[in-house]
Structures are given as structure tokens and as C-alpha cells.
Structure 1
């Protein structure tokens, strides 16, 4: 007798009736069919219950795990922290992200980026969870979670601050180990923030904020790992508030471009300006440009900020040109900017939109910025050079570039760091470094700008050493870009006799 439920699921077999000389009749068959039907319904219900149980377990798993890496997600991490706080065993929360993950996506594609995230997750999980010795209490087992993007969190119950920082260094070494990816070996960098669990900690959110502050410090110093140092609450709130408001500030052009003039050392003629970012916040006042850039980099807004700064600087230069004032404009760009292969195309579009001659735009880079990824930087700078855009090495003499790379760079200008200029101002005999830089630059066909020149004495000395351009308070302090035409009209060139 078949048991039917979406096809045959079984057979009801009845044999060996005990009554002698009596076989099964029609009524018996009807009874057996009824029993088989009931059995089939029962089996089907059991199957449905099993299916529902499996679906519920899968949904519960999905609700607590990241689909890409299989690691616990933010919700699961919060629950793990809550259990640790309830157990009162202490410990630390670590927050990590990959410093150059955007570059991987931009150059190798999102599939490669996903693979890198999976490898990073496996390495963290292996180091935190799989390498635990046998017999470790459940309350002391670590948790690794992916919070989103390239951001991972690690919970280390029962460890002190010193041990937590040491573990963070170990995890950093594991994460940055070379990764075979799409026929290349990729080396990436990462930053860890360590937040010890203090007595009376309330929840995971508080600890993640502390860890985020520490990770921000690790990125700023370049050390890779930093522990949270209790800060003034206002400082944390400031950082979070500025990070939250920066997207709108960029989109709505709430910042200003101030400009500092540059003049020829011998003639005093104004040749150009350096455009400097200024952001006035209604609560915090003027926000330092370095802080704005650091927040933009931390929140993934650096590319948008750089293009907005370039667009506003070129808009100002175009407005001056309409008044008959042709000046070069120099704009600072970061190491991440000059490793962005899309930068030359964006710059070309902005030049075309504002009618700016390419040679009138000078992008200022740093030695350390180039050396952070020399091959890609060279490729981007070469593309900018083919556009006709000028490139200047800022703060020259303070970085770690080699002559081999400097000679390969499409650079037409170097800016002597103001620390050398100040020493030169104090003592005329302290000119070895400046003289060497000038000779090197001239041998490579570059002009030299002395920045941070604050007195006539310093101006005379850098001119005597061969610097072509001067920038600093002795010429003018930075001013709103709209004031440049009037300042130029009022400026009286003061030639120096060399």
C-alpha cells in the first residue's frame, strides 16, 4: 500500500494474517488505505516541520553572519560583547580596516576586493579563534566580525591592555602578509584601534567608538596599531560631528579657497598662488585643513573632496582670467590622490570645463606621498604630465625620496620646506641644505620655490642662493580667493638686485 505525498514516500506492507483460511477482503483494503493516508499525512507534516526548522536555522544564521565572509556580523558582535560584559571578565575590542582597499577595487575590480575581504576574514578568524588552546572557557573565546565594507571588529575577552595591543600587532602581521590575487602578489596595509573594556562599560557601541578613535590615531601616525586614550568628550563629539557633516559640506560647497601669492624672487612680479582649503564650522570655527583631509580619508570622501577643491580653485582662476589676470594656481593633493588612476581624467575634464590652460595648474605632492606607491604614482603623474599639468614636490628635503625616483618624476618644481628657510634666516652660514637642493633641482631642469619666507632677510638670502619664486608672510598672508585681483593691483613689485 503506497504512502503518497508529492510522489511515493513509502509502502505500508501487511502480511501473515493470523486467522486460518481467511484472507484480506475489500473492507480490509479500505482500512489499510485509510491507515496509509493517515501515515502519509503524518510523514508530510514531519517533513514540513523539518523544513521549517531548517529554514528558521538558516534565517537565524543569516541574521547573525556576513554573507561574503561567513563571519559574525555587527549584531552578532554586539551580542558577544554583551555576554562578555555580563561575565565581567574584562578584555578589549579591536577595530580594523584596510588602508588601501579602495585602490584594490578601483584597479583590480570588486571581485578581487571581495576575495581580499574573504582572505582577511579567514586570517583574522584563524589567529583569534582557531589558534586558541584547548580548554579555554567559552566566556574567554574571541570573536571576529565583519562590520561592513573593509571594517572588521575583534573581541578579546579576559586580556589586559598590554596583551591586547600585542595581539593587535600579531593580527596586523597576519593581515598584511602578501596575498596571491589575480596572478599578482598583493601587499596591503591595515590599521588597528585597541579599546580596553573599562569597568562599568555599557555596551558595544561605546567600545566601538573608542576603538574607532584609536584606529583614527593609528592611521594618522602610520604606526598600524594604537590604543584608545581617554579623550575629552568634546573632542570625540567634534570628530564624529565633522565626519557626519563633511559630505554635505563638500556637496554644498560650504568650504572656501584662500590663496597665498607667489612672486619672482628677482623682480617681485606675481606669478601665481597656492590655493588653501578653509572650512568654517558654525560650532567649531575654522577647521584645520589637515583635519578636514584626515576625516575625508577616514570616511572615504577624499576623492570627492579633492575634486571639489580643484573645481573651486580652477573656478577662481577662471574668474581672475576674465578680469585680465593670468596666474598659475597650485593645489595640494595627497598620496591617495596620486595613486588614483582616474585622477588625470577628472583633472582634464575640470580644465576643459573652466577653460584653464593645463600649464596654469600645478599639483603639489610630497616625497613621502610618491614613495608610498611609487609605480602607480609614476603612472598617474606621467598621465598628468601628458595633459600639460605642472607638478611640484612640496616640503622638499623632509621626505625619503631617492634621486632615481626624483629623476623619473615629471616634476618641474620643488618647494623648499620652510624649516630650512627659517634656519637660513637665523644664520646665513646655515645654507648647505638649501644650496644643495637648488643645485640638484636646477641640474634636473626644475625651478625652486622657497616657502615660509617671513622676512626681507630670508627673502634676500633665498634669492641669492638661486630660488626663482618666494612664498610666505613677507609677500602676503593667505586671503580669500576673491581678494586676489585687488591685492595684485595694489602690490608693488620690489625687485632684488642679485
Structure 2
């Protein structure tokens, strides 16, 4: 018994230290998957979690949001104001998803955000998008003044997809393209939100993004028509 007590006394601190180290490592790994400015998930972490949600929920809205007038805020009021706009948009996105258990939100980069939101009733999607747009376009406070950015929001619903698109990763890629098309369509009309209920992307994909989207290009071979 004495030997056992001595052994436990020796091993106890080591086990506690290992437990603390494991907790620290988990926190570091989680932090590495978070965008440091917005606090939202990064693209890779979002795609993993969104695919997981799509595999388990019958109605999932995939949403893309892009801020309008973000460059003007940066140019006029400085990069600190731009950072404040990003943080405000992230907080608005988080607030709008409250009440939707299992929702995943991310900052994809720059002033672009994404979310995968399980819905009990798909008919609630327009109200979700309208509320999100109102949240994201509300004034935010920076350096003693109220500033405003616009938002263009596009969405696609998993239950609108063809049953042939059954793999979660494939479904997510398709939904992101559909949401991207909807988002840029509404951006061309001055912002707002749009849910077209389409099932097939109207345009192709270049490097994982909608062909023709800023930042994409196609390479034409010589002699190609």
C-alpha cells in the first residue's frame, strides 16, 4: 500500500502536467483555425465543419456575404476603420445565426464571409437573409463616429440540390458556387440579398471559384476555339 501511494504521488503531478499540456495544445490548434481579426473560422476549418453539417442535416443554407463600400471605408478612414468593419460584420453574422444550433460561420478572406446554417423549416431562409442583411448594414462605431458598409448576400439550400449530388464535399462545393453566383448577381444591382433556388451553377469553376469572378482567369491553348 505504501509503495502504491508513493507511485501515485510521483505519477500524479506528471499526469496533471500532461493533461494541462494537452489542453494547451488543443487550444492552440483551435486558435490556429480561427481568423485572428474576426474570431470566425478560417476557410479550411469552415469547409470541414460545413461538410459535416451537410452530411447530418436535411436543410442547410450555405450563405456568402461580401461587404460593399469596404475599400472606401479603408481609403477614407484608414485601415483601423476597415478592421473595425470586419469585426462588426463578423459580430453581425454571429448574432444573426443565434438560435440556429450547428451553424458554422467563417471569414474566407478580405471582406468575404460564409456560413452554413441548418434550418428546421427552409421557408425561414428569406427571413434569415433579410435579418442578416439588416445586421451587417447597421452603423458601427469607430473613433467616435458612426460608419456604414453595405452587404451583398447570396444563398443556396442543400435540399434544392439534385439527389445525385450526395457527397457532402461535392454538395458544399456546388452550394458555394450557387451562393457565389447569387451574391455577385445582387452586388451588380447595388447590394441586398438573393436566394435563387437554383440547382445547377450557371457558370463553370476556375480554381474552385466562379469563372469570371474577380481573381480568376482561364488559360486558352493555342489553336483552341
Distance 1:61 1:167 in 2: 28
Measured after TM superposition, the shift of residue 47 of structure 1 is 3.9
Unpaired stretches in structure 1, ≥5 consecutive residues: 1-34, 249-279, 286-498
Structure showing greater relative contact order (alpha-carbon pairs closer than 8 Å, 6 or more residues apart): 2
Matches of residues 141-220 of structure 1 in structure 2 within 5 Å?
141-158=102-119, 162-197=123-158, 198-200=161-163, 201=165, 202-220=170-188
The answer on 1:110 being equivalent to 2:79 is yes
Measured after TM superposition, the shift of residue 235 of structure 1 is 2.8
Measured after TM superposition, the shift of residue 196 of structure 1 is 1.3
Measured after TM superposition, the shift of residue 42 of structure 1 is 2.9
Distance 2:136 2:223 in 1: 39
The answer on 1:69 being equivalent to 2:38 is yes
Distance 1:237 1:215 in 2: 15
Distance 2:73 2:128 in 1: 26
TM-score, length-scaled by structure 2 = 0.78
Distance 1:78 1:49 in 2: 31
Give the 3-state SS of the residue equivalent to 1:222 in structure 2: coil
Distance 1:284 1:241 in 2: 19
Distance 1:237 1:231 in 2: 15
Give the 3-state SS of the residue equivalent to 2:156 in structure 1: strand
Kept in 1: contact 2:41–2:107 (CA 8 A) = yes
Measured after TM superposition, the shift of residue 180 of structure 1 is 1.2
Change (3 A) 1:71 1:195: same
Q: 1:224 aligns with which of 192, 201, 207?
A: 192
**Match in the other structure for 1:240:** 211
The answer on 1:121 being equivalent to 2:90 is yes
Give the 3-state SS of the residue equivalent to 1:180 in structure 2: strand
How far does the alpha carbon of each residue in 1:234-289 deviate from its partner, in whole angstroms, 9 at most, with x for none?
6334851564128x9xxxxxxxxxxxxxxxxxxxxxxxxxxxxxxx998999xxxx
**Match in the other structure for 2:54:** 85
* Equivalences, count: 212
Change (3 A) 1:235 1:70: closer
RMSD over aligned Cα atoms:
3.4
Matches of residues 424-439 of structure 1 in structure 2 within 5 Å?
none
Distance 2:127 2:92 in 1: 17
TM-score, length-scaled by structure 1 = 0.38
Distance 1:80 1:47 in 2: 31
Unpaired stretches in structure 2, ≥5 consecutive residues: none
Distance 2:200 2:177 in 1: 13
**Match in the other structure for 1:462:** none
Measured after TM superposition, the shift of residue 113 of structure 1 is 1.6
Q: Which has the larger radius of gyration?
A: 1
Give the 3-state SS of the residue equivalent to 2:28 in structure 1: helix
Distance 1:84 1:41 in 2: 44
